[in-house]
A and B are shown apart, each in its own frame.
Chain A
Amino acid sequence: MKYSYFPGCSLEKNAASYDVSTRAVASRLGMQFTEVEDWNCCGATEYVSLNLTAAYSLIARNLAQATKNTGLDQVVAPCSACYLNLRKADKVLGQDARLADRVGKALAAGGLSYKPGSLHVRHLLDVLYQDVGLEALTAAVTKPLTGLRVAPYFGCMIVRPSFHNGGEDPEYPTSLDKILKALGAEVVDYPMKAHCCGGHMTQISEDTGFEMIRRLIKGADDYQTDVIATICPMCQLNLDGFQGAMNRHFSTNYHIPVLYFTQLIGLAMGMAPKDMGIGDEIVSAAKALAKIGTAVEPEPAGPARRKKDDKSLPMPSRGGGVA
């Protein structure tokens, strides 16, 4: 199983744990990934809000890079936004002749070309579910996640719009549920599984952004979830990184760790938590993972503070004023 691999900007730093766990799991399952050479940002949802031709040209450069000299006809993206952008551009350029003509001319200015339809764009979840399959995944499990209650969280862009989702229901997808079940986890029938994390809304309107995060976290909490399993770096950043700010916004005190599904697959295959990037999450998963007997190395303590002793200077007395 050979594929081009498109990590995307998030996986370089913020979602590095997704990248390392993806590469480790893929290699263990016999998949060969060749990173797309000198790939660029897909433009997320931002470029298409400003300039249509430039947005599609930016994406098309990646499609051109992925087909250039690789001999591979499938590209895998672990990020849902990258995946949808690549997949959608391939489709739209095949349908809209005028846009395709402009994008073709733009690519030519950079010495590149891309013929729509020559690349099959896949999301990592789809590849693990369809190509590797549940049987092979089950066979690879050595340390089942028994007793861990996991909520499968798909988010939006892998199941909608529905032209590309491989027959999954756009509102009630189940592939991730089945994968987690194969790992031995107790899968939560999570009602918010295909709802939106809000994308960039925390930066546009806190009221809107935090409310969308609250619904997802509360939904998981209502079902006694130990861990939310995600397949997208934007969803992870919103649910994990902004969980504290959301808690303060609503005076709530939720504590639900959010891990990438590849991290859970790696753990179930007996890989070390550290090698899966466990510990990178802001809301610690240590307590949840202790349930399956996985000890996470404690975080290194900060520099030791100087102990107070009798020789310390006295603190100023309270109340101020002259005694």
Chain B
Amino acid sequence: MHRKSASNPFLEEVAATAPGGDALRTCLQCGTCGGSCPSGPDMDHTPRMLFAMINGGMREQVLRSNTPWYCVSCYYCTVRCPKEIPITEIMYALKRLAVRDGLYDDTTAPDFSKTFIHWVEDYGRSFELGLMGVHMIRHNPFGAFKIMDMGVGMVTKGRMGFAPTRIKALDGLKRILAKAKELEAQT
């Protein structure tokens, strides 16, 4: 067990929110994570820098950083980290904290996740056309023109569903998710 930091409640918060997040205390600041990251150049802060900021208790700056939202979940950093910090899980934890506290400047990525899950919560399955449609109208209305040929191809080849599939035990799933959200709110 690692020593807890009484003076840095933010570090404790992140460590407790991510499964295996306790390992974050052992970060060496070596930079292997940032050097391994395929989307690193477009991030506000490299993961290494973000972890230094967490250590420094810079809660708002960390949660407002675009870094977790540009993480593509490729797990390169996770397998390369010499201290075996589950970095991808920490990025997910930072996203959850940012969403819960409304601390994000660009709504594109959080909205995408919310739209995706909206279909899943209402039908039990995801719905690509509904997701892309709603998301593009909100965030990239001209983007539709750029992928027009793809859209036509997807439709003519029968790869695009026009309605989501509804699972049979949808009521049961809704009860499970309602209970899960209730319990998550108590954490």
Contacts and interface: CB of A to CB of B under 8 A. Distances in A.
Interface string B27-48: 0000000000011001000000
B55 interface: no
Given A50-B96, A50-B114, A52-B17, A198 B167 contact: no
Contacts of B75: 156-157, 160-161, 170
A53 B70 contact: no
B38 A195 contact: yes
B10 interface: no
B37 to A, nearest CB: 10
Interface in B143-187: 143, 146-147, 149-150, 153-154, 157-161, 165, 167-169, 172-173, 175-181, 183-184, 187
B186 to A, nearest CB: 9
A14 B96 CA distance: 29
A208 B169 CA distance: 39
Interface stretch (A91-99, A118-126, A133-141): A91-99
Contacts of B69: 204
Contacts, number: 211
Contacts of A112: 172, 176
Interface in A230-284: 241-242, 244-245, 248-249, 279-280, 282
Interface stretch (B1-9, B56-64, B121-129): B121-129
A100 B186 CA distance: 15
A108 B172 CA distance: 10
22 contacts: A9-B125, A12-B125, A13-B158, A41-B120, A44-B116, A47-B120, A49-B110, A50-B113, A52-B17, A52-B19, A53-B180, A53-B181, A53-B187, A54-B181, A56-B180, A105-B179, A110-B169, A112-B176, A201-B39, A203-B112, A207-B42, A215-B38
A109 B42 contact: no
Given A38-B168, A40-B120, A280-B159, A52 B184 contact: yes
Q: Which secondary structure dominates where chain B touches chain A? A: helix
B64 to A, nearest CB: 16
Nearest to A101: B183
A184 interface: no
A280 B184 CA distance: 42
A200 B140 CA distance: 14
Interface string A198-231: 1111011111100010010000000000000000
A117 B15 CA distance: 25
B40 to A, nearest CB: 10
A49 B179 CA distance: 18
A204 B139 CA distance: 9
Interface of B: 17, 19-20, 38-39, 42, 69-70, 72-76, 78-79, 86, 88, 92-93, 95-96, 99, 108-110, 112-114, 116-117, 120, 124-126, 128, 132, 135-136, 139-140, 143, 146-147, 149-150, 153-154, 157-161, 165, 167-169, 172-173, 175-181, 183-184, 187
Sort A-B residue pairs by CB-CB distance and give the 5 closest, nearest first: A160-B75, A196-B74, A110-B172, A109-B179, A106-B180
B42 A208 contact: yes
Contacts of A245: 146-147, 150
B176 A106 contact: yes
A102 interface: yes
A197 to B, nearest CB: 8
A146 interface: no
A288 interface: no
A160 B125 contact: no
A106 B165 CA distance: 23
Nearest to A195: B38
Contact of B177 (A54, A92, A206): A54
A201 B43 CA distance: 13
Contacts of B167: 38-40
Given A9-B125, A195-B38, A57 B172 contact: no
Given A47-B120, A204-B112, A16 B159 contact: yes
B88 A49 contact: no
Nearest to A93: B19
